[in-house]
Structure 1
Amino acid sequence: MGHYAAIWDHKAAIEVTKDWNGIDQVVLRNPRGASVRVSLHGGQVTSWRNDRGEELLFTSSKAIFKPPKAMRGGIPICFPQFGNCGSLEQHGFARNKIWSIDENPPPLHPNDSLGKSLVDLLLKPSDEDLKCWPRCFEFRLRVSLAADGKLTLISRIRNINGKPFHFSFAYHTYLSVSDISEVRIEGLETLDYLDNLCQRKRFTEQGDAITFESEVDRVYLSSPNVIAVLDHERKRTYVIRKEGLPGLVWNPWEKKAKAMLDFGDDEYKQMLCVDGAIIEKPITLKPGEEWTGRLELGVVPSSFCDEG
């Protein structure tokens, strides 16, 4: 790892270890004891812990930790599609490929590296990928952990030659919550969404917050840069900041949870997906163009927010 040492802040800590399948994973730490784990299988964040060692991301106890299956939990990267359409596997192939550590990452804004423990990953299409999706791309992913425990993911996707291509994308973020019935989302009020449970009909969000009493599967057509997920029982709030990424909110509830092989029957109570996602209006990249999608996750005490 000495080769990479020059790009880390001197207080940052980074370690490369093997996971249960012998695949490399990168562990990031900050001086206060928070940590992030990123698997090179899928470029997937599999763990994000605060300075007390509490896990902030949900992973199913029934998750299948074996390629080519993507792990149920953490933050899978969905590219070049979200959902199940066409000839590609559900949610695209990026989450099932082995990524590499990027030895020559392009420079980003100083705020995206200063005082942070970080790793840059790279995915390029294999011959197999080009057969099923014949587009030449470079996908660079930076995962960083700040001194205050915030987790940031920055994706840069470039069309490196050939013709224009289109893609969908998602940071499919599984948050760990105490009890879904005690959780509320603020920041999506008055926004339009497509309801996947009602033949994708368009609705406008009513009320001052989203609460959960049954299955939810909504694609928001736009969303603010900041969303708050309040967990009353744990007295903490996830603050989600994103750029250029509308959203998706999903909880399978009881019936669908029981139908998923890699999901515990009652685990829907302990999770909530709030994604930064490009679904309805795919991105088009001309040759040489690059798209950037940024997601920042932080946690604050719930007293920070009005719980009225």
Structure 2
Amino acid sequence: MSSEKGLSAPSATPSAPSFGPPTVELCKGVNGLDKLVLREPRGSSTEVYLYGCHVTSWKNDHGEELLFVSSKAVFKPPKAIRGGIPICFPQFSNLGSLEQHGFARNRLWAIDTDPPPFPTTTSSKTFVDLILKPSEDDLKIWPHSFEFRLRVALGPGGDLLLTSRIRNTSTDGKPFTFTFAYHTYFSVSDISEVRVEGLETLDYLDNLQNRERFTEQGDAITFESEVDKIYLSTPTKIAILDHEKKRTFVLRKDGLPDAVVWNPWDKKAKAMADFGDDEYKHMLCVEAAAVEKPITLKPGEEWKGRQELSAVPSSYCSGQLDPRKVLQGS
């Protein structure tokens, strides 16, 4: 093992929560589901449920919640949790024969007690490794052997890092193909006061118009109605500016060429049983994804996709912050 102090000890089981450093704790969440709480010494924290390997909370060092989870979210299998960061695998949306967004988000993951070497570009010492392997039932609906490893980490500055590694472990010599997304729900003060920078002039597929292809015309994305778009060949950095909160989220990604932008607006919000009627005003999904060109893995091959989220104070309201400098900065 490396010198990093993550949660990967063999004793890391739900029946033995007194393991590892005090920065990683296994405890009970909603409806008795097991969850891991990661705390960074400066005060930031994140929570991840073993059910779905689902991040449901990310707080800065002031204790402010940065992710949106619906007040009506159902924390009960087999229903996926509404909000946070669902993992869409092996299928994004309904682009194949599987259920919406695949099955990874409503399976019980295990703590990875023996992860292979995990190259990392962060100095984070607060992390946990989780793993998903297909059950017999999974193999009936998607007949491919795989290992899906996911590391959830908190950086020293409170950044949230998710790194996925998916390996084809098939012994029959057959490749498999999948699409993927980190379906991140950001918490925003007022959707009508939010703008997204970094996707202007790009082509996108509009899910509201049968995935017809268009080119983004505005100098930034703003919101006044339902949006469900897949932006293609996107940059590695995207900025989400919340004017009212004077906060900018910066999404950095690697291995994920697309970006999905989604807000259900009022009519669709009212049609979802696990979503409050007015909650669309306080959330925005911007998702690092690989959708347009599915990923194919031959036996023994591994794919890696990484997303890093940070939240920085911004005085964009007073015109003092140039969002392009945020995007161009380190």
Q: What TM-score do the two structures reach when normalised by structure 1?
A: 0.94
Are residues 1:232 and 2:243 paired? Answer: yes
Is 1:171 the counterpart of 2:182 in the alignment?
Answer: yes
What CA deviation, in whole Å up to 9, does each residue of 1:5-62 have, x standing for no partner? 9xxxx98710000122322211100011110000000000010011111110001111
Structure 1 residue 115, shift from structure 2 partner: 3.5
Which residue among 294, 300, 308 is the counterpart of 2:312? Answer: 300
Tell me if 1:72 matches 2:82: yes
Q: Which runs of 4+ in 1 moved over 6 A?
A: none
Residue pair 2:253, 2:288 contacting (<8 A) in 1 also:
yes
2:264 maps to which residue? 252
The 5 A counterparts of 1:272-287 are: 272-287=284-299
Q: More deviation in 193-202 or 11-20?
A: 11-20
The more displaced of 22-31 and 180-189 is 22-31
Structure 2 Cα separation of the partners of residues 173 and 23 of structure 1 = 21
Conserved 8 A contact 2:8-2:128: no
Measure the CA separation in 2 of the matches of 1:22 and 1:259. 28
Q: Which residue of 1 aligns with 2:199?
A: 188
Deviations 1:58-77 (A, max 9, x none): 01111111111001000000
Give unmatched runs, 5+ long, in structure 1.
none
TM-score (norm 2): 0.88
The number of residues matched between the two structures is 304
Deviation at 1:3, TM superposition (A): 3.1
Any idea what the Cα deviations from partners look like across 1:252-292, whole Å, max 9, x if unmatched? 11111111111111110000000011112110001100000
**Structure 2 residue runs without a partner (length 5+):** 1-6, 12-19, 325-330
Contact kept in structure 2, 1:164 and 1:287, CA below 8 Å: yes
CA RMSD of superposed structures (Å): 1.9
Match of 1:3 in 2: 9
- Of the candidates 218, 224, 229, which is equivalent to residue 213 of structure 1? 224
| Matches of 1:207 and 1:30, distance apart in 2 | 39
- Which of residues 134, 140, 147 is equivalent to 1:125? 134
Cα contact 2:8–2:113 (8 A) shared by 1: no
- Select the residue among 118, 122, 125 that pairs with 1:108: 118
- CA change 1:159–1:190 in 2 (3 A) is same
1:38 is matched with which residue? 48
Deviations 1:101-157 (A, max 9, x none): 001111122434x33300000000000100111000000000000110000000000
Query: What percentage of aligned pairs have identical amino acids?
Result: 68
Q: 1:132-143 to 2 correspondence within 5 Å?
A: 132-143=141-152
Contact 1:215-1:252 at 8 Å conserved across structures: yes
Letter in 2 for 1:187: G
